Structure 1
Amino acid sequence: MSSDAAKSELSGPNGGSFRLSNASLDRLPGQIRRPRYDRSLISPGIVHLGIGAFHRAHQAVVIDDLLAGGAMDWGIVGASLRSPETRDALAPQDGLYTLAVRSGAGTDHRVIGSVLAIDVATEKPGQLIARLADPATRIVSLTVTEKGYCHTPQTGDLDERHPEIIHDLQNPGTPRSAIGFLVAALARRRIAGTAPFTVLSCDNLSANGHTVGRIVTQFAALRSRNLAKWIEAEVAFPSTMVDRIVPETTEADRTVISSALGMIDAWPVVTEPFTQWIVEDRFPAGRPDFAAAGVQMVSDVTPFEHMKLRLLNASHSGLAYLGYLAGFETIAATMTDEHFAAFARQVMQDAVPTLAMPEETDLAAYSSSLLQRFSNPALHHRTWQIAMDGSQKLPQRLLATMQDRLRLGLPINTHALAVAGWMRYVTGTDEQGRAIDVRDPLAAKLKALAERAGPAPERLAPALLEVDSIFGALGADPRMHSAVTEALTKLYALGARRAVQTFQTA
């Protein structure tokens, strides 16, 4: 949050001076929806690691609905593993914030009350461990992004050389990673004889429950073999699929939303009308009645997870890299170009043969709905934001489909163009010679490889394909080399806009 946002608490819109809080709820305009329950009666049952915009626009909204239905012991304590900004913005607001749902028809404003408190892990790690170890905590959910799991995306295993993992093994009482905190709290619960909580990942990881379970168990084994065996036997890690587009909140968003409230909200969230949450129903420590709030409870999330990763996330990433290079600031702006829209549609169509869905699933309708959502002019979802952390996202979003298509004897040139867009992007220089602010855990390594290869596709593509933590065995496949090098050559020769315009699905 900027200093201007902090100062706005004092000035307020139109001369107002109220800050959103429990005390000011009754001053909200009548059309603003607000919590339909007494917040003073709510007790926490969930600790959420990574309390960013997505969680506050997705899972916290579901819990808000459940609290309104009487599930009074399922409030949320949020935890930020890095920055105090969210805590600093929401603490003066008693955890309240506005959900602004935007569409072409306008904006619906709703104040969410499910977040009761926010801890900052870097300030008081012991306090967060105590929260997690509290018997009242029955679910620990996570949205820490792919890179927050300190794993190797291509294999799904713990990265034992990750700096945070090394630190957490040496300092188990003051961890830095989400994995370190989970294991520290589970170790404490085991010693105390307290039943373990359920770990609920809500990130875009392949088989996220199984993956997180493996990572946590592998980390625990480095501390204690008996602890690892206990976690493997006793702790549930259900898989989930989450879906809602949540752009980064801007200063303009804060100003407009605060004006609609007639008071300051320092950190609202903006989203689209669509929301989906599919959860594997495995909660031995108990859970609220998620289905009552529209959550789809299933025995196997895998087909739905693959559908989302390979249709939505894959096309989103392709649009982000190629759209950014073509000069588009947002996904909606990118979709105004019919060639980019057709490319996104082709990414989805190429993924369909790799999916095994329940009979009643209408993939054509799902794909059409995605294209409509991407085109929502009210959502300013920046291509640069989606392009972050590509080294962690490519394996499950694009590469898994490419592996399956090669296994089926099908061409991969559509996805190869998206991968080539990522390669061109991570060089750190755009088509006009301007610097790109590449945000990625491997940014320095990728830039060094790009600088050694130079702007020569026949050298750059093989150099990046050799990054084993991203591409694994696929990087050595000659069919992969050929397709990606050809796509990257076209990008350098024509530029992203012309490359997409001339794209053919041979």
Structure 2
Amino acid sequence: MKLSRETLSGLYGNEALQLPLKSCFDLPEKVLQFGTGVLLRGLPDAFIDKANQEGRFNGRVVVVKSTGNGSTTAFDEQDNLYTQCIRGIEGGRKMAVNIINASISRVLNAASQWEQILACATNPQMQVVISNTTEVGIVYVEENIHTTPPASFPAKLLAFLHRRYLHFNGDETKGMVIIPTELIPDNGSRLKEILLQLCVFNELDTAFTDWLHNSSDFCNSLVDCIVPGASDLTLAYEDDLMIMTEVYRLWAIETSSERVKQVLSFHEADAGVVLSPDINIFRELKLRLLNGAHTLSCGLAFLAGLDTVKAAMNQESMAAYIEGLMMQEIIPAITDRHIRHDAAIRFAGAVLDRFRNPYIDHRWLSICSQYTSKLKMRVLPVLLRYYERTAQVPALISLGFAAHLLFMRGDTTYSVSDEYAGWYREQWQLHSPETVVKNTLGNEAVWGHDLTTITGFEQLVTVMLKALLAEGPAAYLDRIAAEITIS
């Protein structure tokens, strides 16, 4: 039995499922979404569906399939229904929920149904545009927006907005709220900038450009939710669109506009949607506590024989290292008048729950990819700020750097995927561990800083590297973990 509206009726009464209200299928189309991917279906579409069930947003999503790869057959066969299986830990407790999502009304293929997509621009109830076209989707390409269809996502969006402007005769109330979720900084601002460039290239009239600039809201946003494969899950029916998401979810949208807040009324249904005049706080917390902790731990955990994040959190010493790293060194370095200590503690707690998720096999070796550049971007600012504030060298961060150096030596059991892999290999072939530390930390071309100028850092990393070599990563980690006290 395949999931569809016809088979849905036989599922009502199934206590293992959260099913959509029948009235949801009659709601008007309010959202145009560029992208069919699992992140959009697991986050924005999930928030919209939840709000619809509560009678808050009352609108459905028209999805645009922009790429030529794949088809819309699975969506057509299932009447655009799909199951979201939420799995993870929240507040220390396992959570497993299955929700049939009815937020999507149609999936249209840009290559063959472009006129139907443009017709959505004439819908007076259409209010929101969402996108996730990957980071390379938000790029400026000089092209005619009247092509059927334009190639790039920005040109497609501009064609849609131009059709809307013409149909409603420049009505200022018919502008859209546009929220890209692509993982680039200031994604909304960048998208708007590209559209204005395309206006010039296409010689569109000034009145339209003014309407675009003043009547539509381009919001920067940040999404954070792991959407792994769901192949191991089984249901009482067949669902080719089933997805699994972790419990944690965040969609931070940057706005101070009351109009935008009213349009995005689905934010009232879930605390995971945050409307804020400044979302950089959320980006900083994620970058330092989640990504930074991942990066500092990956080499150490892998070398200690722990293949996955889940396995690391089930091993007492590694779990103590990760928690100590966050609570004792990262949080003291990043909290200030913008990031409160209590907010950082709560975020760290959520990150630890995410790391413990028994349903996700996140491999440390994958996290080690481009290890050096990740350390520079995610960790170096924390190291410098910690030293600036305390005049001390952070021991657990130092251990993370020592493990990085040992990992980058490489061996026959794993491959190193890093732009500096050749340089590190040469260092280990030619020099002693002490010299490897000195040459690495002093390499300003790598770090943008001479890290040997941090008093005591080179010495501590050297001691720890030699201990990792002499005792073995697992044994040395046990010794370090015994000295960590989590308050």
Aligned length, in residue pairs: 444
Q: CA deviation at 1:23?
A: 0.9
Q: Deviation string for 1:226-275 (max 9, x for gaps)?
A: 687765544423344544443x214223xx2x3xxx21011322233344
Partner of 1:197 in structure 2?
176
Partner of 1:252 in structure 2?
232
Which amino acid in the other structure matches residue 94 of structure 1?
D
Between the aligned partners of 1:290 and 1:496, the Cα distance in structure 2 is 48
Partner of 2:431 in structure 1?
none
Between the aligned partners of 2:66 and 2:406, the Cα distance in structure 1 is 31
Between the aligned partners of 1:234 and 1:392, the Cα distance in structure 2 is 40
Whichever of the two has the greater Rg, that structure is: 2
Match of 2:53 among 68, 72, 75: 68
Q: CA deviation at 1:344?
A: 2.4
Partner of 2:241 in structure 1?
267
Kindly indicate whether the alpha-carbon contact (under 8 Å) linking 2:248 and 2:350 is maintained by their aligned counterparts in 1: no
Kindly indicate whether the alpha-carbon contact (under 8 Å) linking 1:303 and 1:355 is maintained by their aligned counterparts in 2: no
SS state of the match for residue 9, structure 2? helix
Q: CA deviation at 1:325?
A: 5.9
Between the aligned partners of 2:122 and 2:441, the Cα distance in structure 1 is 50
Q: Deviation string for 1:13-51 (max 9, x for gaps)?
A: xxxxx1011111122261122102334312221223343
Partner of 1:333 in structure 2?
311
Q: Deviation string for 1:293-329 (max 9, x for gaps)?
A: 0244444333334223322233244445654565544
Matches within 5 A, 1:96-175: 96-103=81-88, 105=94, 107-120=96-109, 123-124=111-112, 126=114, 130=118, 133-135=121-123, 136-144=125-133, 147-148=135-136, 165=140, 168-170=141-143, 172=145, 173=147, 174-175=149-150
Kindly indicate whether the alpha-carbon contact (under 8 Å) linking 1:84 and 1:120 is maintained by their aligned counterparts in 2: no
SS state of the match for residue 142, structure 2? helix
Between the aligned partners of 2:155 and 2:371, the Cα distance in structure 1 is 24
Partner of 2:27 in structure 1?
42
Aligned residues: CA RMSD: 4.6
Q: CA deviation at 1:130?
A: 2.5
Distance of aligned partners of 1:127 and 1:374 in 2 relative to their CA distance in 1, 3 Å threshold: farther
Kindly indicate whether the alpha-carbon contact (under 8 Å) linking 2:30 and 2:61 is maintained by their aligned counterparts in 1: yes
- 1:367 lines up with 2:348 in the alignment: yes
Deviation larger for 178-187 or 488-497: 488-497
Distance of aligned partners of 1:481 and 1:296 in 2 relative to their CA distance in 1, 3 Å threshold: same
Between the aligned partners of 1:402 and 1:133, the Cα distance in structure 2 is 50
Partner of 1:354 in structure 2?
334
Partner of 1:214 in structure 2?
190
Kindly indicate whether the alpha-carbon contact (under 8 Å) linking 2:452 and 2:458 is maintained by their aligned counterparts in 1: yes
Between the aligned partners of 2:339 and 2:427, the Cα distance in structure 1 is 45
Between the aligned partners of 1:499 and 1:231, the Cα distance in structure 2 is 60
Distance of aligned partners of 1:27 and 1:127 in 2 relative to their CA distance in 1, 3 Å threshold: same
TM-score, normalisation: structure 2: 0.71
Q: CA deviation at 1:112?
A: 1.1
Which amino acid in the other structure matches residue 97 of structure 1?
Y
Partner of 1:311 in structure 2?
289
Q: Deviation string for 1:147-205 (max 9, x for gaps)?
A: 3465xxxxxxxxxxxxx64xx32465455554454445445545663643222244555
Partner of 2:6 in structure 1?
23
Between the aligned partners of 1:24 and 1:74, the Cα distance in structure 2 is 23
Distance of aligned partners of 1:320 and 1:170 in 2 relative to their CA distance in 1, 3 Å threshold: farther
Between the aligned partners of 2:113 and 2:423, the Cα distance in structure 1 is 41
TM-score, normalisation: structure 1: 0.69
Kindly indicate whether the alpha-carbon contact (under 8 Å) linking 1:218 and 1:228 is maintained by their aligned counterparts in 2: no
Distance of aligned partners of 1:451 and 1:309 in 2 relative to their CA distance in 1, 3 Å threshold: closer
Distance of aligned partners of 1:320 and 1:124 in 2 relative to their CA distance in 1, 3 Å threshold: farther
Q: CA deviation at 1:114?
A: 0.8
Identity %: 20
Q: CA deviation at 1:374?
A: 1.3
Between the aligned partners of 2:380 and 2:108, the Cα distance in structure 1 is 36
SS state of the match for residue 47, structure 2? helix
* Consecutive unaligned residues in structure 1, runs of 5 or more: 1-17, 151-163, 439-445, 468-474
Q: CA deviation at 1:111?
A: 0.9
Which amino acid in the other structure matches residue 450 of structure 1?
A
Distance of aligned partners of 1:132 and 1:385 in 2 relative to their CA distance in 1, 3 Å threshold: farther
Distance of aligned partners of 1:313 and 1:450 in 2 relative to their CA distance in 1, 3 Å threshold: closer
Q: CA deviation at 1:222?
A: 6.2
Partner of 2:432 in structure 1?
none
* Consecutive unaligned residues in structure 2, runs of 5 or more: 429-435
